[in-house]
Structure 1
Amino acid sequence: MKFQFWTVGKAHESFVKEGVEMFTKRIANYYPVDWTIIAGPKNAAALSETDLKKKEGEIILAALQKDDFLVLLDERGKQLTSEGLASFIQQRANESTKNIIFLIGGAFGVSDSVMIRANFKWSLAQLVFPHQLVRVILAEQVYRACSINRNEKYHHQ
């Protein structure tokens, strides 16, 4: 199984980069992992919110493979405990899922077509976090889940 973290937007800001790299390296001890930053359309500023989400959605859907398991981070999604996320990941491994893609949508969310394509919608919290900070939280929580599945001490430090 491979983890892919996709995010719509700009490159990691410096305050985010170090945390993302640290947790990504740790995750790589369990599963292959990589990040893809999906640039928005060139004329994004001229587009309406709906048109922007539609264009971003077309880019996302074109990049997905049929058997990719898409986890959409969405404020209306299901909330999980760290143990719940560990169980979720273990279940995907047990099902021989090849790719789990964790998607952080654009500033206005994602198009309806991406929402429909998502295999699972996950809410990190009822709070709203800055887009860049979500990247660090996501990487840390996936690492935490992996350490829980291996019964390692990180979760209890």
Structure 2
Amino acid sequence: MNITVVCIGKLKEGYWREAIAEYGKRLNKYCTLVIDELKEERLPDNASAAEEAGVKESEGKNILKRIKPGGYVIALDVKGKALSSEGLAEKLDSLGIEGKSDVTFIIGGSLGLSPEVLARADLRLSFSSMTFPHQMMRVILLEQIYRAFKINKNETYHK
């Protein structure tokens, strides 16, 4: 399976980069992982609603350009569907059985995802009703993808 994580913003702190590298190494035996970091658009202090909408639209256009035609798209969205770790494992397993080998996860920037990106998503996935920094969400997502593969292979890790 080919897993792509399209995300807004670069990881600045070394500890986030180290965690991503660790999960990338672990995932290497289960899938091909690509992390596609896109530029975070500048937002002025005290931005208006129109300026915020413009940033989301611009970031959304860049995200949509990175989605492979025919690929399955999972957008991380606080208002999306909540799945357990086992539920995510089942979803990834069923996608593989259906022949959908290109799966793209999308993590938006601080303002979230544009309506166009959410409309393109095949699944809107919520990890929580809480908001997390997108850097942390990237680590959490990779850990859950790793956990899903371990569950599907009946390997110890998930408890």
What TM-score results when the alignment is normalised by the length of structure 1?
A: 0.93
Question: Match of 2:90?
Answer: 87
| 2:104 pairs with 1:101 | yes
Question: Match of 2:145?
Answer: 142
Question: Match of 2:5?
Answer: 5
Structure 2 vs 1, CA of residues 12 and 147 (structure 1 numbering), >3 Å: closer, same or farther? farther
| 2:36 pairs with 1:33 | no
| 2:128 pairs with 1:125 | yes
Structure 2 vs 1, CA of residues 127 and 80 (structure 1 numbering), >3 Å: closer, same or farther? same
Give the distance between the partners of 1:31 and 1:131, measured in 2 at CA: 23
Q: Is the 8 A contact 2:6 2:66 kept in 1?
A: no
> Segments of 4+ in structure 1 off by > 3 A?
none
| 2:58 pairs with 1:55 | yes
Give the distance between the partners of 2:134 and 2:68, measured in 1 at CA: 25
- Deviation of 1:45 (Å): 2.7
Q: CA RMSD in A?
A: 1.3
Q: Is the 8 A contact 1:4 1:35 kept in 2?
A: yes
Structure 2 unaligned regions, length at least 5: none
- The one-letter amino acid of 2:72's match is F
What percentage of residue pairs aligned between the two structures are identical? 35
Tell me the matched-pair count.
154
What TM-score results when the alignment is normalised by the length of structure 2?
A: 0.92
Q: Is the 8 A contact 2:11 2:135 kept in 1?
A: no
* Counterpart selection for 1:45 from 36, 43, 46: 43
Q: Secondary structure at the match of 1:7?
A: strand
Q: Is the 8 A contact 2:110 2:133 kept in 1?
A: no
Q: Is the 8 A contact 1:13 1:132 kept in 2?
A: no
Structure 1 unaligned regions, length at least 5: none
| Higher alpha-carbon deviation: 100-109 or 122-131 | 122-131
- Deviation of 1:67 (Å): 0.5
Q: Is the 8 A contact 2:78 2:127 kept in 1?
A: yes
Q: Is the 8 A contact 2:88 2:148 kept in 1?
A: yes
Question: Match of 1:24?
Answer: 24
